[in-house]
Structure 1
Amino acid sequence: MSKKNIEDCVRDTLNQYFKDLDGEEPHSLHDMVMLTVEKPLLDVVLRQADGNQSKAAEWLGINRNTLRRKLVEHKLI
């Protein structure tokens, strides 16, 4: 059994999203996807880093202050 990578999961989900639209046109798709993906990304990485924001920021490749701002925006802290 082959493993799905994140890219495949995103592709499958987007294909299903377009099917579910049933001919309707999407709006602000980029913003929707980025906001939808960012929250669980931050949540999972922070949990894997045992709540250590410095470590999570390093893993994400972003500044700790940026991480903190995003955590507040997504109501994760």
Structure 2
Amino acid sequence: MSVNAVRLPATEATRAVASQSALSECVSRTVRRYLADLGDADCGEGLHALVIREVEGPLLREVLAFHDGNQSRAAVALGINRATLRKKLAAHGLL
């Protein structure tokens, strides 16, 4: 395995998931599935960059929609300033 990952025994993996939030559980399950699909191949851009790229766009879109397009309120909810939010929205083609 070329990725630095620890393979937990099935019972240990299940126990770890039981104490996670729904969001954390979803991320864990998806990353495990991705790593299994990837096998020994390299991720290319790096797993962290890949996950951030895949998660950030939907996160921004959903928080902005929740706040009816109000960027100031969305930025507060995300814990970032409005200029940073606008930069991220532009990078994801959401402006």
Q: Provide TM-score, normalisation by structure 1.
A: 0.90
Q: Which runs of 5+ in 2 are unaligned?
A: 1-20
CA distance in 2, matches of 1:76, 1:26: 26
Number of matched residues?
A: 75
Moved runs in structure 1, 4+ residues, more than 6 A? none
Percent identity, aligned pairs only, is: 47
SS in 1 for 2:68: coil
SS in 1 for 2:90: helix
Cα shift at 1:29 = 0.8
Q: Which runs of 5+ in 1 are unaligned?
A: none
Cα shift at 1:24 = 2.0
Letter in 2 for 1:35: R
Instruction: Kindly indicate whether residue 54 of structure 2 is the aligned counterpart of residue 31 of structure 1.
Output: no
Kindly report the root-mean-square deviation, in angstroms, between the aligned alpha carbons of the 2 structures: 1.5
